[in-house]
Chains A and B, each alone.
Chain A
Amino acid sequence: MTDKDKNRALGFETRAIHAGSHPEPVTGARNTPIFQTTSYVFEDVDHAADLFNLQTFGFLYSRITNPTVAVLEERIANLEGGRAAVCAASGHAAQFLAFFTLLEPGDEFVASRNLYGGSVTQFGHSFKRLGWNCHFVDPLEPENFRRALTPKCKAIFLEGLANPGGIVVDMEPVAEIAHEAGIPLIVDNTMASPYLCRPIEWGADLVIHSTTKFLSGHGTSMGGAVVESGRFDWAQNDKFPSLTQPDPAYHGLTFHETFGDFGFTMKARSVALRDFGPALSPMNAFLTITGIETLPLRMERHVANAEKITRFLEGHPAVAWVSYAGLESSPYRQLARKYLAKGAGSVFTFGLKGGFEAGVKVVESVNLFSHLANVGDTRSLIIHPASTTHRQLDKDQQVASGAGPDVIRLSIGLESADDLIDDLDLALNHAAA
């Protein structure tokens, strides 16, 4: 009776295709149907009451749960090695659900300063208006997180493989620092995807995704997810009343006590998602589920292409530096070996000897690279962060987050690597001319 559950031994590739997705029981439809419906007929008044009260499992309204979205939630939870997940309309919405479930007005958290620029703005400006205060720290020294902790801090947040700069954060000691303080470590795993890194294995308690990127993988669908490890004891102290005290928004239900190791997810769904409404559409969930089925194959090729292209760039006379943790020259190579054994992703930055003006020329001269604000597409993408994704930051913040004026960010897609190299070579030579 204590045999190891045989399902746990299934491989990542198998789970990427099957987790959460069973044949539809009524019709036998093999692929996950797009349940394009707002609402679900109750069996009777008592069933409706049970659903509203969370006394039974089931579908009520697609702002809270939807059968297509639920397949995606279970699949992401499974691939991350977590207990449960809740999806949202975007990665930003997922971050909001996570922090709304953790923080009270006046609470604080510590975050790495090496984050996607939109997260720096969300944490530093918009969250402040809700009374949530973020302390940013340089993540390269784990003790910086400990030094910034205050008694009001309720979480530590970081990107393991940071956007945009090819930086890898040593998350294992940061998890220990968080746990010594009785608070969870939240890791944004968007840039690595669970194929390359599973933060829960290194001590993370919550994992955030913008599923818009590598998980959906084809540049079709916005989406986000929060994954709960199921291992954090929310009742170990009095820091998380939203989970451990009776909730007036739910007739006095206590989420941690009632739902145990998926209490956080139930609370994020039943209160934050219900009351603020950033639900993921069933169509986007369907496209993301389909994307995840090929995640292992795509990530292998993304990494192989990125490794070829970064080696090419490193040898190019017009290039000043390349920041990619997969390169032997990277100061993050050892950390990448630890956390990203299958590869350091395909998003990285490089600088041009010609500085800002050369950078602008390259962005405007490439033909196969698309100039746009996204990463993790089948297509290769190029952007100048200082003028786009990181433009809301001041110059010091831009430099601190690896998005200085001379920096170009690439997201390497799945085209023929030689074609991408030729395209970059022409543009670099043009810019240097």
Chain B
Amino acid sequence: MNDRHGKPLHYADDHLRAILGRVRTIAMVGASPKWIRPSNFVMKYLLGKGYRVIPVNPAAAGQEILGQRAYGHLNEVPGPLDMVDIFRASDAAGAIVDEVISLAPEKSISVVWMQLGVRDDAAARRAEAASLIAVMDRCPKIEYGRLFGELSWCGVNTGIISAKRPVMHP
């Protein structure tokens, strides 16, 4: 999105497409029960695309968000998980990444994804050193829409150029 935290980030399309194609279960740290919040938008969209999304939010523990039971802490979420999506400010991301690293073997987590605007380069390096895939400053909803065609519908430059007949995902 921008480079105010360091040099611009580049993630290859094929790399992000492979992550979003492989992952099935996502724990979303910071998922809001308020329907107008961005995290709620993203969670609803990903549920609609067939992902299982488990909200993590201490203020909503025990309640349901979009029909999914919310947990107070990441370590309470029953595994296995494929990915943790961090919907918290950048200065809170590092500690969550460290928790993901410690939980990864037990819960078979392979991807730690930091939302659009969330970036902690040192935490990403720690995750990668622990054999996790780290993505920063990207939104899985926007990237899913970009890579599988829907984002083109609202005038966004997806950068995807191909003369092959597209396969629309559900």
Binding site for B on A (CB under 8 A): 1-8, 10, 14-15, 18-20, 22-23, 25, 28, 30, 50, 53-59, 65, 67, 70-71, 73-74, 77-78, 82-87, 230-231, 233, 246, 251-254, 257-258, 260-262, 265-266, 269
Q: Is the Cβ of B154 less than 8 Å from the Cβ of A84? A: yes
In the complex, A127→B139 CA distance in Å? 37
B166 at the interface (CB under 8 A from A): yes
- Other than the given A55-B41, A261-B1, 10 more pairs (CB < 8 A) read A2-B11, A10-B161, A22-B164, A22-B166, A55-B44, A58-B150, A58-B153, A246-B36, A260-B116, A269-B155
- Point out the residue from A5, A58, A73, A252 that lies within 8 Å of B155, measured CB to CB: A73
Knowing A23-B163, A233-B4, say if A5 contacts B153 (CB, 8 Å).
no
Binding site for A on B (CB under 8 A): 1-2, 4, 9-13, 15, 35-36, 38, 41, 44-45, 48, 116-117, 133, 139, 142, 145, 149-168
Q: Is the Cβ of A252 less than 8 Å from the Cβ of B36? A: yes
In the complex, A157→B142 CA distance in Å? 30
Contacts of A261 in B (CB 8 A): 1-2
**Number of A-B residue pairs having CB atoms within 8 Å of each other in the complex:** 131
In the complex, A231→B8 CA distance in Å? 11
Contacts of A57 in B (CB 8 A): 145, 150-151, 153-154
B49 to A: closest C-beta gap in Å: 9
In the complex, A263→B17 CA distance in Å? 23
Q: Is the Cβ of B152 less than 8 Å from the Cβ of A74? A: yes
Which of B11, B36, B151 has the largest number of chain A CB atoms within 10 A? B36
Contacts of B117 in A (CB 8 A): 260
In the complex, A423→B2 CA distance in Å? 53
In the complex, A28→B163 CA distance in Å? 10
Q: Is the Cβ of A262 less than 8 Å from the Cβ of B153? A: no
Contacts of A254 in B (CB 8 A): 38
B155 to A: closest C-beta gap in Å: 3
28 A-B pairs with CB atoms under 8 Å apart are A1-B133, A2-B10, A2-B11, A3-B10, A3-B15, A6-B12, A8-B159, A18-B162, A19-B161, A22-B164, A23-B165, A23-B166, A25-B166, A28-B165, A30-B163, A53-B35, A55-B45, A56-B44, A57-B153, A65-B153, A74-B152, A77-B155, A77-B157, A83-B156, A231-B2, A262-B154, A262-B155, A262-B156
Contacts of A251 in B (CB 8 A): 36
Which of A1, A56, A78, A231 has the largest number of chain B CB atoms within 10 A? A1
In the complex, A67→B149 CA distance in Å? 12
Q: Is the Cβ of A22 less than 8 Å from the Cβ of B11? A: no
Q: Is the Cβ of B155 less than 8 Å from the Cβ of A85? A: yes
Knowing A10-B161, A78-B157, say if A20 contacts B10 (CB, 8 Å).
no
Contacts of B41 in A (CB 8 A): 54-55, 258
Contacts of B168 in A (CB 8 A): 25
In the complex, A254→B35 CA distance in Å? 12
In the complex, A78→B117 CA distance in Å? 23
Q: Is the Cβ of A56 less than 8 Å from the Cβ of B48? A: yes
Knowing A260-B139, A266-B154, say if A4 contacts B163 (CB, 8 Å).
no
Contacts of B155 in A (CB 8 A): 65, 70, 73-74, 77, 84-87, 262, 265, 269
In the complex, A50→B45 CA distance in Å? 9
Contacts of A10 in B (CB 8 A): 161
Knowing A1-B133, A23-B166, A56-B48, say if A269 contacts B15 (CB, 8 Å).
no
Contacts of B48 in A (CB 8 A): 50, 56
B125 to A: closest C-beta gap in Å: 12
Knowing A22-B162, A50-B44, say if A4 contacts B157 (CB, 8 Å).
no
Contacts of A19 in B (CB 8 A): 157, 161
Contacts of B15 in A (CB 8 A): 1, 3
In the complex, A230→B146 CA distance in Å? 15
Contacts of A85 in B (CB 8 A): 155, 157
Q: Is the Cβ of A15 less than 8 Å from the Cβ of B161? A: yes
Contacts of A257 in B (CB 8 A): 38
Which of B35, B48, B139, B157 has the largest number of chain A CB atoms within 10 A? B157
Q: Is the Cβ of B154 less than 8 Å from the Cβ of A23? A: no
Q: Is the Cβ of B9 less than 8 Å from the Cβ of A2? A: yes
Report the nearest B residue to A58, measured CB to CB: B153
Q: Is the Cβ of B165 less than 8 Å from the Cβ of A7? A: no
Report the nearest A residue to B7, measured CB to CB: A2
- Point out the residue from A5, A28, A58, A258 that lies within 8 Å of B159, measured CB to CB: A5
Contacts of A70 in B (CB 8 A): 152-155
Contacts of B157 in A (CB 8 A): 19-20, 74, 77-78, 82-85
Report the nearest A residue to B40, measured CB to CB: A55
- Point out the residue from A1, A18, A78 that lies within 8 Å of B12, measured CB to CB: A1
